[in-house]
Structure 1
Amino acid sequence: MVGWHKNVGAGLTAPVPARVRARHCRLSRGCGHVDPSVAGARPNLFHPSDRIIGVIGTLDPRQNERERQLLEEIREQGNTPKAARLFQDLILSHYRAYGRDLPWRRTTDPYHILVSEIMLQQTQVERVVVRYHEFLERFPDFESLARAPQSEVLLAWQGMGYNRRAISLQKTARLVVDEYGGNLPADVETLATFPGIGQATAAAICAYAFNMPVVYIETNIRRTFIHFFFQDQKGVRDDEILPLVEQTLYLENPREWYSALMDYGTVLKKRTVNPNRRSASYTRQSRFEGSDRQVRGKILALVLEEGTVTEEEVAARVSEDAERVKRILGDLEKEGFIAESEGTYSCR
């Protein structure tokens, strides 16, 4: 078995060695079949009385039947080649009929994929769609991002949250320009060493930009596998899920496969009790309102807007306790967001 690598905060990923790829080829032979009648079909109304226990109810009775067969096969027979085939058929047919049309799915440009993956790390898709276009208009390539003032990058990032991602993205752009001739390396292990890119994000970039048969887990992938393959289990570990991600990988088109898994996981979250609650790594997101993260965002936005501010001005404008403001200003300075000079703060 492959030695798995943990990516803190994002998931797990693993390379696919030759012996595993060979096993995938055997397993995937015929697994990618999709009912041709599904892709162009219009969904029929799904009535609540038709709901099958465990089935998410997609508004399409044919999809519900696929789900029922898959859940039944796994429940009665376990993880079998038939289950893998049914799983691929379900995920791909759902995607080809109902997949989201997202802008980063219309490109294989490594820079565009990198930007989208960093944005998607901790921000909802709907917000990313808007910012993605705006960001690429302002910084269309590695060179323009690498050479831009940090303050301009942070301004373009406003509204996305977790602003350190913007700084990491710019550092990565500089690294690519200065050390890789402007070409993003098509290698998971190399990418995982870049600022703000862990193993799972590196694998996602390789899948979407280079169509590489990498194996990794993130929240939507985890949700999908737990729902089907761990139906009655709690405390499911990622190292239990990863072998299944390997075994079911659609080698003919990893890019399409991971997009399909992502979309199915999104649907699951909306239509059933979140399966990720049964993950060993599940934690509830901390409250944003009134948090240090919210105050940090307000302070940084103020500094970007005004250019230079004093500690007293910040405390008055954001309506926060002076000691809290002082502490957060110190943190922002240490992290490279702002600089202090003679009692005034400005963006670096």
Structure 2
Amino acid sequence: MRIVRIAGSGSIAWPSEALGRDEFVELVRREGARLHRDLPWRYIDDPYAVLVSEVMLQQTQVARVEKHWTRFLSLFPTIDSLAAAGTADVLAQWQGLGYNRRALALKRAAETCSAERGGLLPDTAEELETLPGIGPATAAGVMAFAYNRPSVYIETNVRTVFLHELFPDRDKVSDRELAPLVASTCPEDDARAWYYALLDYGAHLKTLVANPSRRSAHYARQSAFEGSRRQKRAELVRVVLAEPGIGADELAERLDAFERAAGRDGVDAATFESIVADLVSEGFFRREGGAFFA
């Protein structure tokens, strides 16, 4: 551990004796340039379009997001258009990305901005975090990629680079420990390019090092999707979107058949009603008498 002075920012404790701060920055810039990924959302600075990409990229592979991002924006090109869209239309365009809650949160954020901000996103991280579904990482991403302002952007690929290069022999490294290091390396004048370099280098490291995120204090093994309650929820949403007005009995039979076709036990009535109640209360679809509509 050594103390490193940062121009205009005081000093920080730098964890690596082998790789100094300047050497680390140079390494990331060099590897980022070598491994640069040509992604469509890197050629825009519209805050709304950047937000859509950041939300889609949460827990979803880049290749899958590429297929959805352009189409989604062609249908909902502005905050106001997304706010005015029907929930069923938004969810339909989200199919294939997973984690449908993100679509609802994104729409609710758009509704808030449309109603209260003239269809514009906030331009500070603090205000962004007041919107539905936007946490510190997403807000920091918007600040860096839309506004090109310095931020503390910690997501899985960024975390991978810092863990791999600066904490090679440590486990349980917390984001609180990483945050001042991330902040101290982010340039004042080009946060966008810096984080692109970190993201591309981190994505590459994941192909070389087995699960580098496991050394983070925040690492948790993701539960299996197959057979999970989350998969059942996704299947119910898919069916209701495809067949609006489907009756409760038929919907229950569809879910039961879906599970049995996969070689699992069927779904009892109590489980079905519990999942449906959650989906209705969360706004995924509504129940009118004995029928369901998105």
Quote the residue 1:149 is aligned against. Answer: 86
The answer to whether the 8 Å contact 2:137/2:154 transfers is yes
Quote the residue 2:283 is aligned against. Answer: 336
Quote the residue 2:9 is aligned against. Answer: 23
Identity %: 44
Partners of 2:7 and 2:53 in 1: CA distance:
28
Quote the residue 1:321 is aligned against. Answer: 267
Partners of 1:274 and 1:250 in 2: CA distance:
28
Partners of 2:46 and 2:186 in 1: CA distance:
23
Q: CA deviation at 1:150?
A: 1.0
Partners of 2:179 and 2:154 in 1: CA distance:
7
Partners of 1:91 and 1:252 in 2: CA distance:
17
> Within the alignment, does 1:266 sit opposite 2:203 as a pair?
yes
Question: In structure 2, which of residues 17, 20, 24 is the aligned counterpart of residue 87 of structure 1?
Answer: 24
Partners of 2:73 and 2:192 in 1: CA distance:
22
Q: Deviations over 1:12-37 (max 9, x none)?
A: xxxxxxx987128x99xxxxxxxxxx
Question: In structure 2, which of residues 234, 237, 242 is the aligned counterpart of residue 305 of structure 1?
Answer: 242
Q: Deviations over 1:60-101 (max 9, x none)?
A: xxxxxxxxxxxxx976x357xxx1111111111222222101
Question: In structure 1, which of residues 66, 83, 99 is the aligned counterpart of residue 36 of structure 2?
Answer: 99
In the alignment, residue 266 of structure 1 is paired with which amino acid?
A
Q: CA deviation at 1:197?
A: 0.2
Question: In structure 2, which of residues 139, 143, 153 is the aligned counterpart of residue 206 of structure 1?
Answer: 143
Q: Deviations over 1:151-181 (max 9, x none)?
A: 1111111111111111111111111111111
Q: Cα distance 1:20–1:101, how it changes in 2: closer, same or farther (>3 A)? A: same
Quote the residue 1:251 is aligned against. Answer: 188
Partners of 2:6 and 2:125 in 1: CA distance:
17
Q: Deviations over 1:31-73 (max 9, x none)?
A: xxxxxxxxxxxxxxxxxxxxxxxxxxxxxxxxxxxxxxxxxx9
Q: CA deviation at 1:271?
A: 0.5
The answer to whether the 8 Å contact 2:35/2:201 transfers is no
The answer to whether the 8 Å contact 2:129/2:139 transfers is yes
Partners of 1:283 and 1:221 in 2: CA distance:
17
Quote the residue 2:166 is aligned against. Answer: 229
Q: CA deviation at 1:212?
A: 0.7
Partners of 1:169 and 1:322 in 2: CA distance:
33
Quote the residue 2:220 is aligned against. Answer: 283
Partners of 2:49 and 2:209 in 1: CA distance:
33
Partners of 1:202 and 1:270 in 2: CA distance:
27
Give the secondary-structure state (helix, strand or coil) at the position aligned to 1:216.
Answer: coil
Partners of 1:105 and 1:270 in 2: CA distance:
22
Give the secondary-structure state (helix, strand or coil) at the position aligned to 1:345.
Answer: strand
Partners of 2:6 and 2:154 in 1: CA distance:
17
Partners of 1:90 and 1:272 in 2: CA distance:
17
Question: In structure 2, which of residues 101, 109, 112 is the aligned counterpart of residue 175 of structure 1?
Answer: 112
Question: In structure 2, which of residues 48, 54, 58 is the aligned counterpart of residue 121 of structure 1?
Answer: 58
Displaced runs of 4+ in structure 1, greater than 2 A?
A: none
Runs of 5+ consecutive residues of structure 2 not aligned to the other structure: 258-265
Q: Cα distance 1:210–1:21, how it changes in 2: closer, same or farther (>3 A)? A: farther
Higher RCO (Cα < 8 Å, 6 or more apart): 1
Q: Deviations over 1:245-302 (max 9, x none)?
A: 1222233310011111111111111111222111111111100001111111111010
The alignment covers a number of residue pairs equal to 279
Compute the RMSD of aligned alpha carbons. Answer: 2.0
In the alignment, residue 137 of structure 1 is paired with which amino acid?
S
The answer to whether the 8 Å contact 2:113/2:119 transfers is yes
Q: Deviations over 1:93-143 (max 9, x none)?
A: 222222101111011011110100111112111100000011011111111
The answer to whether the 8 Å contact 2:148/2:189 transfers is no
Partners of 1:135 and 1:210 in 2: CA distance:
22
Q: Give the TM-score of the pair, scaled to structure 2.
A: 0.90
Give the secondary-structure state (helix, strand or coil) at the position aligned to 1:210.
Answer: coil
